[in-house]
Amino acid sequence: MKVDGKLNVWGTAEVVEEALHHEKAGYDGLWASESKHDPFLPLLLAAEHTDRLEVGTAIAVAFARSPMQLAYTAHDLQAYSGGRFTLGLGSQIKPHIERRFSMPWSRPAARMREYVCALRAIWAAWNEGEKLDFRGDFYSHTLMAPFFSPPPAPAGAPKVYVAAVGEAMTRVAGEVADGLLAHGFTTERYLREVTLPTVEAGLEKSGRTRSDFSISHLLLTATGRTEEELARAVDGTRRQIAFYGSTPAYRGVLELHGWGELGDELHALSKSSREDKWAEMGRLVDDEVLHAFAVVAEPDRVAAEIRRRYGALVDRVSFYAAYEIDAEVWEPVVRELRGE
């Protein structure tokens, strides 16, 4: 099982330090997300100062950009990193695409399928010299003069992962992507009963098998070296589960477990004006729900629990810690998961 870290700093010196730390600690990859900063720029620094560490986005917002714009960025990062870049894409949600990015929103799963196919057509034009003639329902790319065509990337096109929770987007990932980024609000049961069968249906449609595909899971993990640390970790994790559980788009995960009413309660509380609503929402997440979504264990048991629950389901894992904890706590977990 590969283990990836999450980039949480953005200053030049801090990014370099984090990248060097992750490579030395044995991590396989380092992912940057798109929230308050551009996700691509720090990855250039991370790739420059490491030798083997894979770098990628988890996620970059696809629909905030045209496929051509993103194709250039990903192609350059793939070349600069010597083939160590992975493009992780997410759809975001309608209000953000329309009101924050001022871009069109419609049929997100169908749009994502076409988006990835457009990227591959553009990269094929640059890397294999194929004529660019992509015509779809959402995007059309039919012009590529030599002046605008970059040299081929020596390692070829980057891998593309798609973030998905719902079945429609998960099927798209299986059809057109190289991997799936499983959301932190995902249980072992949901992966086994919903995600994997849906991915395999998509893979079958594209003439591929599970061995051609990678599943990466951002796994909620609560740990601590003392009772106080573990209690703080559990409290933070309950609140994070409650935050995601209040989002109607993720209700299907709760419904699979028979917890649909919990989603209704969390959603109603999230819309209330109560000052203590986030703490109260966390208290609604009982131990059964907590342990379904998160690995909760002392540091020396975390790796074994991840292997037991997810070893047959996912290929890569990242630790989702919704609380403050020393980075050194994860290092022996990384080594054990990687079999060192």
User: What's the residue count for the chain?
Assistant: 340
Q: Taking 90 as the threshold, does the pLDDT of residue 11 lie above it? A: yes
According to the model, what pLDDT value does residue 234 have? 97
Q: Taking 80 as the threshold, does the pLDDT of residue 340 lie above it? A: no
Average pLDDT over residues 147-167: 96
According to the model, what pLDDT value does residue 274 have? 86
Tell me the C-alpha distance between 289 and 287, whole Å.
Answer: 5
Q: Which residue has the higher pLDDT, 147 or 249?
A: 147
- Tell me the helix, strand and coil percentages in the chain, rounded to 5: 50, 15, 35
Q: Which residue has the higher pLDDT, 278 or 290?
A: 290
Residue 326: both structure tokens together: 């020393």
- Mean pLDDT of all residues belonging to the chain: 96
- Of 24, 25, 68, the closest CA to residue 319 belongs to 25
Please tell me whether residue 215 adopts helix, strand or coil conformation. strand
Q: Which residue has the higher pLDDT, 17 or 247?
A: 17
Tell me the C-alpha distance between 108 and 120, whole Å.
Answer: 18
| CA angle (265, 295, 305) in 5-degree steps | 150
Tell me the C-alpha distance between 20 and 273, whole Å.
Answer: 44
Structure pTM?
0.94
Tell me the C-alpha distance between 145 and 10, whole Å.
Answer: 36
Give yes or no for a contact between 162 and 112, defined as CB atoms under 8 angstroms apart.
Answer: yes
Q: Taking 90 as the threshold, does the pLDDT of residue 136 lie above it? A: yes
Model confidence at 266, in pLDDT bands (50, 70, 90)? very high
Distances (CA, A) of 248 to 32, 242, 243, 266, 270: 26, 12, 11, 10, 11
According to the model, what pLDDT value does residue 96 have? 93
Give yes or no for a contact between 125 and 148, defined as CB atoms under 8 angstroms apart.
Answer: no
Q: Which residue has the higher pLDDT, 223 or 248?
A: 223
According to the model, what pLDDT value does residue 275 have? 85
Average pLDDT over residues 291-307: 97
Half-sphere exposure of 106 (CA within 13 A, CB side): 5
Q: Which residue type does 80 have?
A: Y
